[in-house]
Amino acid sequence: MIEQRIEAICHKTIDNCSDEELYSALLVLVKEESGQHVTPVTGRKLYYISAEFLIGKLLSNNLINLGLYDEVRDCLKSHGKSLAQLEEMEPEPSLGNGGLGRLASCFLDSLATLNLPGDGIGLRYHCGLFHQSFADGVQNESPDLWLTKDCWADRTEKTYTVRLADREYSAHLYTISVIGYEGRVNRLNLFDIDTVDEALIREGISFDKTAIDKNLTLFLYPDDSDDDGRLLRIYQQYLMVSAGAQLILEECAGRGCDFHNLADYAAIQINDTHPSMVIPELIRLLTQKGIGFEEAVDIVTQVCAYTNHTILAEALETWPLAFLEKVVPQLVPVIRQLDEMAKSRSEDASTAIIDDDGHVHMAHMDIHFTHSTNGVAALHTEILKDSELHNFYELYPEKFNNKTNGITFRRWLMACNPRLCALIEKLIGPGFKKDASQLRRLAGFKNDTWVLEQLIQIKTANKQDLARWLYSSQGISVNTNAMFSIQSKRLHEYKRQQLNLLYLIHQYFEIKAGHLPAAPMVAVFGAKAAPAYTIAKDIIHALLTLSRVFAADAQVSRWIQIVLVENYNVSAAEKMIPACDLSEQISLASKEASGTGNMKFMLNGALTLGTMDGANVEIADLVGDENIYIFGRSSKQVIHRYAARDYAAADWYEADPNIRRAVDFITGDAMCAAGHRESLTRLRSELISKDWFQTFPDFNAYVVRKNQAIADYAADPMLWARKALINISEAGYFSSDRTIAEYNNEIWHL
Ligand code: 26Q
């Protein structure tokens, strides 16, 4: 059947088709097939509104979820074609920075799989997150023009008028089908304007920031930005929320809603503060339809819920009222009224929406005017309640709740690790694909030597796959008999890639002194630094330079190889994670809201080396002390130290010869000969004078714990495999199906 359909779409036999033609044909086939699974909405429907959806490639995932993957793969194979190779042709839609955007995509997959009506609302950026390449030890950025002829996003006839800075724009709706695993089909709605001009892009990723009609949806902004960029972000955000709000009202009206009862028809989840303007925008639209202001506020509060993804104060969005006056003057009277209402509810200045400097605090508006505020891991929610948002918690204790993040097992196990998936299915049957809690049954095999040997073999085969890919894409050869430690996530000081760097330097000295590690190690990194984030780029440079220094030293390179994967993205993650032994989750305790990479590694049989931060805490609770490597100061100690303001990095540097030796190496002869003195010097000074994320106090504990992990790995592979099995068996809790079921039971009630 598959063969006939492909040939009908192409008007020729599979043997005569090029890879491009086959890829196009499969796209058409999936779209046709998904059309069969669209079911009408009854009752309340969810709108997950987010500036980012880091969807990744869709072909394999869609085929898996439609139950067609094996058939298509085998059919192509019988004609000497490879599905994996076709997949390489698919441009990856990188419409997100990292965890927050990827979470949104996992959630859409789970919504459709659980047969819940839930659509996404976002933006169709012409360029996703920049493409990263390395040259001369430095990160370079180039535009990621992902929109090609064959694209999952279909242009519709629908447009919505949006007023920005006293001009009207037409927001055009594009849709991508979200196909659940043996489930329903939902929609990702992405807005764009027709006048965007890709020719505006100049050198690298710079572009003319003045012409809004030409640049509005041209780029996804990296998670920092200059002031021009910030202004453009408000334009983007408003385009998304205004068109989104109109779409929601139109759909609900189409189903018989009279707007007074909007909460019976719609639930809106606000993904961090980026879409927060949806609150005043909906109030504005409802009052235009004749509903009184106070009732409109009540309706919107009932409909909307807010998720917080960060505790870094500098990441909480505030906009100068003057910016908003310029871009969205129609919202300002609404925001002022909301601010007055907030001030009448509490005299505490820290809970105001508009502060004394005329800044609008988006998160404050969210908490006052939605019915639910949630954190994304147990520890994160506790920190929000106890410190960061404590005054709000006192005002509205009933609004605060936790929803520990999750990941879709369809992409992060079934698609990326077919070997492990097949073994699990052989042992416990296929039920875990839809009911992840069944993975617990794997624990029954913890003393089964055949199973443990299989796990070891699978890991080795996955390492060989990764090694082949590293060689073909970057010309790097790695030792697949080594332990693979992987730290892959955005480059951020709080995530502490620099701590890993200091460890590697420490090991260099140990090897030179004849203190050899228990096993050889490949230390893999995947990380993009925001283009304007200087220290993050310095850390990348130091890692690339250290990698060169090690490679040139036969004595050291026998034991440690450092690999930086270029352009880390979802597809790269899918290749790296199944090959990992040791998952590096070493953020400064209290700073990583949850982390979701930690869950993906665990599910694929890696052991976590981590601090008691984010969801690591829950991983540690589930697997027990003997199946995880925890180190470092606790979040309480860290929060206390910040409050006391008594951390002086220089004192630690002076007092600890190991720290001093590692830090000084950064600007030593070997590094300066292989890299750039200016960048290396800046990094070293930053560490000694600031070390804002307290790497020094955790340094020795990290070295000890990591070397313990290597020793355990080397001493008894079967015991290590047993720990890996326990990790896999406990990973069920981190299925996004569980997370979405909780959102639905406690917040949305779809
Ligand atoms: C803000 C202003 C201007 C430009 C960009 C931004 C911006 C963009 C993206 C700020 C933050 C983000 C993304 C944040 C993010 O990814 N947070 C992560 O969310 C994950 C899902 O909940 C958590 O697992 C991570 O711990 C958290 O860091």
CA 499 / ligand 1 centre spacing (Å): 21
CA 101 / ligand 1 centre spacing (Å): 8
Q: Is 233 in the pocket of ligand 1 (CB under 6 A)?
A: yes
Q: Is 310 in the pocket of ligand 1 (CB under 6 A)?
A: yes
Q: Determine which helix (DSSP H) or strand (DSSP E) holds 23, and give its type and residue range.
A: helix 19-35
Which of 126, 403, 490, 496 is labelled catalytic? 490
Q: Is 598 in the pocket of ligand 1 (CB under 6 A)?
A: no
Q: Is 316 in the pocket of ligand 1 (CB under 6 A)?
A: no
CA 96 / ligand 1 centre spacing (Å): 9
Q: Is 566 in the pocket of ligand 1 (CB under 6 A)?
A: no
CB 410 within 8 A of CB 64: yes
CA 722 / ligand 1 centre spacing (Å): 34
CB proximity list for 680: less than 8 A, separation 6 or greater: 538, 541, 542, 545, 666, 667, 671, 672
CA 313 / ligand 1 centre spacing (Å): 12
The ligand 1 atom nearest the CA atom of 405: 22
Q: Determine which helix (DSSP H) or strand (DSSP E) holds 639, and give its type and residue range.
A: helix 635-644
**Closest C-alpha residue for ligand 1 atom 11:** 223
Distance between CA atoms of 473 and 244, rounded to whole angstroms? 40
Q: Is 103 in the pocket of ligand 1 (CB under 6 A)?
A: yes
β-sheet with 607-610: strand ranges across: 560-565, 521-526, 483-488, 582-585, 607-610, 629-630
Paired sense of beta strands 131-135 and 138-142, if any: antiparallel
Tally the C-alpha atoms within 13 A of residue 389's C-alpha that lie toward its C-beta.
Answer: 31
Structure tokens at 79: 């004609």
Question: With 0-12 CB in 10 A as exposed, 13-18 as middle and 19+ as buried, what is 87?
Answer: middle
pLDDT for the residue 407: 98
The ligand 1 atom nearest the CA atom of 223: 5
Q: Is 593 in the pocket of ligand 1 (CB under 6 A)?
A: yes
Pocket test for ligand 1, best of 52, 273, 310, 601 (most atoms within 8 A of CB): 310
Structure tokens at 254: 């189409």
pLDDT for the residue 222: 78
CA 252 / ligand 1 centre spacing (Å): 30
Catalytic residue list contains 636: no
Q: Of 589, 591, 587, 98, nearest to 311 (Cα)?
A: 591
Please give the average pLDDT of every successive group of 10 residues along the chain, which has 750 residues: 89 91 94 88 96 97 96 95 92 95 98 97 97 97 92 96 94 97 96 95 85 92 72 93 98 97 98 98 98 98 97 83 94 98 96 97 98 98 95 98 98 98 98 97 98 98 98 97 98 98 98 98 97 96 98 98 98 98 98 98 98 98 98 97 94 98 98 98 98 97 98 98 98 98 98
Q: Is 684 in the pocket of ligand 1 (CB under 6 A)?
A: no
Q: 394-435: per-residue pLDDT in tens?
A: 999 999 999 999 999 999 999 999 999 999 999 999 999 999
CA 377 / ligand 1 centre spacing (Å): 14
The ligand 1 atom nearest the CA atom of 596: 24
Distance between CA atoms of 608 and 44, rounded to whole angstroms? 40
Q: Is 225 in the pocket of ligand 1 (CB under 6 A)?
A: yes
Q: Is 597 in the pocket of ligand 1 (CB under 6 A)?
A: no
Q: Is 723 in the pocket of ligand 1 (CB under 6 A)?
A: no
CB 80 within 8 A of CB 203: no
What SS3 class is residue 187? strand
Catalytic residue list contains 600: yes
Q: Is 663 in the pocket of ligand 1 (CB under 6 A)?
A: no
Which of 489, 492, 496, 633 is labelled catalytic? 489
CA 316 / ligand 1 centre spacing (Å): 10
| Helix 695-715 vs helix 717-730: crossing angle, to nearest 10 | 120
Catalytic residue list contains 690: no
Q: Of 351, 441, 362, nearest to 396 (Cα)?
A: 351
Which of 351, 404, 596, 611 is labelled catalytic? 596
Which of 45, 433, 459, 495 is labelled catalytic? 495
Pocket test for ligand 1, best of 223, 231, 598 (most atoms within 8 A of CB): 223
Q: Is 592 in the pocket of ligand 1 (CB under 6 A)?
A: yes
Catalytic residue list contains 433: no
The ligand 1 atom nearest the CA atom of 97: 9
Beta bridge partners of 359: 320
pLDDT for the residue 227: 67
Distance between CA atoms of 234 and 162, rounded to whole angstroms? 13
Which of 131, 233, 274, 309 is labelled catalytic? 309
CA 99 / ligand 1 centre spacing (Å): 7
**Closest C-alpha residue for ligand 1 atom 5:** 223
CB 601 within 8 A of CB 608: yes
What pTM, to 2 d.p., does this model score? 0.98
CB proximity list for 610: less than 8 A, separation 6 or greater: 583, 584, 585, 586, 587, 598, 616, 619, 620, 628, 629, 630, 631
Distance between CA atoms of 677 and 668, rounded to whole angstroms? 9
Residues in the chain: 750
CA 90 / ligand 1 centre spacing (Å): 26
Q: Is 594 in the pocket of ligand 1 (CB under 6 A)?
A: yes
Q: Of 580, 597, 629, 606, nearest to 727 (Cα)?
A: 606
- The DSSP 8-state label assigned to residue 432 in this structure reads G
| Helix 332-345 vs helix 293-303: crossing angle, to nearest 10 | 80
Catalytic residue list contains 209: no
Structure tokens at 581: 């032994």
**Closest C-alpha residue for ligand 1 atom 12:** 223
Q: Determine which helix (DSSP H) or strand (DSSP E) holds 110, and give its type and residue range.
A: helix 99-113
CB 296 within 8 A of CB 259: no
CA 98 / ligand 1 centre spacing (Å): 7
CA 224 / ligand 1 centre spacing (Å): 10
Catalytic residue list contains 489: yes
| CA separation, residue 633 to residues 622, 696, 699, 702 (Å) | 20, 11, 10, 10
The ligand 1 atom nearest the CA atom of 376: 22
Distance between CA atoms of 319 and 130, rounded to whole angstroms? 25
What SS3 class is residue 217? coil
Which string of b and e fits 143-178 if b means at least 16 CB within 10 Å?
bbebbeeebbbeeeebbbebebeeeebebbbbbbbb
The ligand 1 atom nearest the CA atom of 98: 16
Q: Is 383 in the pocket of ligand 1 (CB under 6 A)?
A: no
CB 487 within 8 A of CB 525: yes
